[in-house]
Structure 1
Amino acid sequence: MKLLMLGPPAVGKSTQTRSLARVLSYFHVSTGDVIRAHIQAGTDLGREVEGYTRRGELVPDELVLKMVFPNLEPAGRWILDGFPRTLDQALALDRELAEIGLHVTQALLLEAPDRVLAGRIKGRRYSEATGWTYHLEHAPPPQPEQHLDPGPFVRREDDDPEVFRRQLAAYHEEIGPLAGHYESQGLLTRIDGDRRPEEVTKSILRALGFDERAAEEKGLRRVCG
């Protein structure tokens, strides 16, 4: 399966995608992680996109495509986290996959009210060691004695309230055409993201046709908690 995880900033895309990737043994490609890796490595692409991320602006499509496509495994099962973000990116992804005889299997759209999203960024923390995203209340970073993630756990620059407002405005402008693209093909599934992470994951598993009990036995509670 070739899955997409779509949704506004702070809705929990990374949390859900990482959980599903571990439970279902899928390959996880996070646009945000790829962009941050380029920035931290000081690559030419990284320097080019850094200004956009600092201002909370969407990175131009052509730059995102250059970073994302090399990470796709044509023969594997993967979940794209936060990509595509625009209709143009979706069309480019369709063309890229069609060239190797593939297509998107399902697009999952996580949804939550803006007021909920604004509240979530206050507690969101990013691990500089692993790139995992946590939330102090809903999905707190592991304790040192658990030896799961050494951190440090910091606030990202794009979690600034003003930057977040610009990101959210850009999302609302783009999501209509993007969702319509996949809805017209019968590929879009809307998921209520305003719930506890494990409940959202169970809804996604049901939407994908997986047995949530079997997934739970493989570590759903541990992954989401």
Structure 2
Amino acid sequence: MRIVLVGPPGAGKGTQAAFLAQNLSIPHISTGDLFRANISKQTELGKLAKSYMDKGELVPDEVTIAMAKDRMEQPDAEHGFLLDGFPRNVSQAEALDVTLQEESMNLDAVLDLEVPEEEVVKRIAGRRICRNDSAHVFHVTYKKPKQEGVCDVCGGELYQRDDDSEETVRKRLEVYHTQTEPIIDYYKAQGLVVTISALGPVEEVTTRAMEALKREDDDK
């Protein structure tokens, strides 16, 4: 299957993408991984992307699209892929359509992870990270440390990252609503959107997504 995964910040896209890709035996292609891999390998696209990033500028759509196209043409993506973080806007979605048509391919589904806005704010603004090891993550509601402000694992100080503040989260949501959310309507017009609730335990959301994708596949 060829799938695009969409949803607001805090919807759990990265987690779900990893589980779904494993269950469907297709590669998980995330924009972040694409950028890191190309920059690390110092590919021409990576150098170009870094030149914009070093100046604090957004990487142009055509560079992101070229990276995604190159990744989708790799042998492990021959029978499908799951795109996470791309397309990020309607112009990227249109370019993806053109790229797929050129390769005589098409998308099978666009999985929309739906989460109420206040839940997104609660999820992200409640995160606390250990200063000693950023892999140690806690939450003021969902994963409380035994002692407030102290990491259970190493005793380090727990803090809230600047980009996890409520004000920043709400700004990120505004960007999502303005730039990314319109692709849902774009794909709805093609009959590709499958919307599921992303509330509940991770395993439940994965099961919900797999069942919805199977129904979509069976209907075709």
- Tell me, yes or no, whether TM beats 0.5: yes
Could you tell me which residue of structure 2 aligns to residue 205 of structure 1?
Answer: 210
Is the partner of 1:191 in helix, strand or coil?
strand
Could you tell me which residue of structure 2 aligns to residue 9 of structure 1?
Answer: 9
1:166–1:34 distance in 2 versus 1, CA, 3 Å: farther
In 2, distance between residues paired with 1:176 and 1:70? 25
In 2, distance between residues paired with 1:26 and 1:139? 31
In 2, distance between residues paired with 1:30 and 1:192? 21
1:194–1:77 distance in 2 versus 1, CA, 3 Å: same
Select which of 21, 45, 50 maps to 1:46: 50
In 1, distance between residues paired with 2:196 and 2:97? 23
Instruction: Summarize the alignment of residues 5-84 of structure 1 with structure 2, pairs less than 5 Å apart.
Output: 5-38=5-38, 43-44=46-47, 45-49=49-53, 51-52=56-57, 59-72=59-72, 73=74, 75-84=78-87
Q: Which amino acid aligns with 1:9?
A: P
Any conservation in 2 of the 1:7–1:110 contact (CA below 8 Å)? Answer: yes
Query: Once structures 1 and 2 are overlaid, which stretch shifts more, 82-91 or 172-181?
Result: 172-181
- 1:113-167 CA-partner distances (Å, limit 9, x unpaired): 2221122224277xxxxxxx99635699xx99xxxxxxxxx98775455543332
Among all aligned residue pairs of Structure 1 and Structure 2, give the percentage whose two residues are the same amino acid: 36
Over the residues paired in the alignment, what is the CA RMSD in angstroms?
3.4
TM-score under structure 1 length normalisation: 0.70
Is the partner of 1:109 in helix, strand or coil?
strand
Could you tell me which residue of structure 2 aligns to residue 136 of structure 1?
Answer: 138
Could you tell me which residue of structure 2 aligns to residue 222 of structure 1?
Answer: none
Offset of residue 38 of structure 1: 4.7
Using CA pairs below 8 Å that are at least 6 residues apart, which structure has the higher relative contact order? 1
- 1:18-70 CA-partner distances (Å, limit 9, x unpaired): 01112221111011222344566674213413525xxxxx6542232133221
Any conservation in 1 of the 2:52–2:59 contact (CA below 8 Å)? Answer: no
Select which of 171, 179, 184 maps to 1:174: 179
In 2, distance between residues paired with 1:174 and 1:202? 29
Max Rg structure: 2
Structure 1 stretches lacking a partner, 5+ long? 53-57, 126-132, 145-153, 211-225
Number of residue pairs the alignment of both structures matches: 189
Q: Which amino acid aligns with 1:78?
A: F
Structure 2 stretches lacking a partner, 5+ long? 130-134, 145-151, 154-158, 216-220
Is the partner of 1:209 in helix, strand or coil?
helix
In 2, distance between residues paired with 1:79 and 1:101? 17
In 1, distance between residues paired with 2:107 and 2:117? 28
Any conservation in 1 of the 2:194–2:213 contact (CA below 8 Å)? Answer: no
Any conservation in 2 of the 1:10–1:117 contact (CA below 8 Å)? Answer: yes
In 1, distance between residues paired with 2:64 and 2:102? 19
TM-score under structure 2 length normalisation: 0.72
Instruction: Summarize the alignment of residues 113-192 of structure 1 with structure 2, pairs less than 5 Å apart.
Output: 113-122=116-125, 123=127, 136=138, 158-159=163-164, 161-192=166-197
Offset of residue 197 of structure 1: 1.1
Offset of residue 82 of structure 1: 1.6
